[in-house]
Structure 1
């Protein structure tokens, strides 16, 4: 069994990045630490909140919580054996960070994230 470190990242698909950035800046009381045309991210109280325009290339339609894990391949095998279905296989999104998604038996999307 690989270790899970908990939910530290939640990504939200947004239709208007500029308007969403204003709302989340007001909500969180701080400016984003990552701010580009394809992603806006806030780090607060050990959590990362990300805004993804139009659901990004993965076509997100609702927020996705990402569980941080020590070994993404082992955790994928473990949750797949338990009944989850791999939606997006692990991919490097920069800096050695790997992300993957699975769906639970009800179709809810769950994210896994492994840092270098």
Structure 2
């Protein structure tokens, strides 16, 4: 039924500022912007080994409004060096949600709140690397 991650959507009151922040973090520019003229309402990046989509939508279009508190599901993105990635996120203005925690051998998670109020998880995950090496992630 669930075949794979398509798009993770984050929300921001200032999509331009969020686009710039994520471009700095990811080292790539958004490949999709709507509208193409004026301030964007939505931008999208393709990132990672499988070119997953990370979208940023203007908070005005959030289906249930933008929550006042951070919470809900955490999407964890694989990183090769959890501490260096965590430190970089903090240096770019994110705040600590949960410091790095070893969940078991080969599994370390951490999470931050980006400057726009979104929860962003990172994880060193042995299973991810196994799938990547095997080529079965298609």
Could you tell me the TM-score, scaled by structure 2's length? 0.40
Which protein is bigger by CA-based radius of gyration? Answer: 2
Could you tell me the TM-score, scaled by structure 1's length? 0.47
More helix by share: 2
Higher relative contact order (CA 8 A, sep 6+): 1
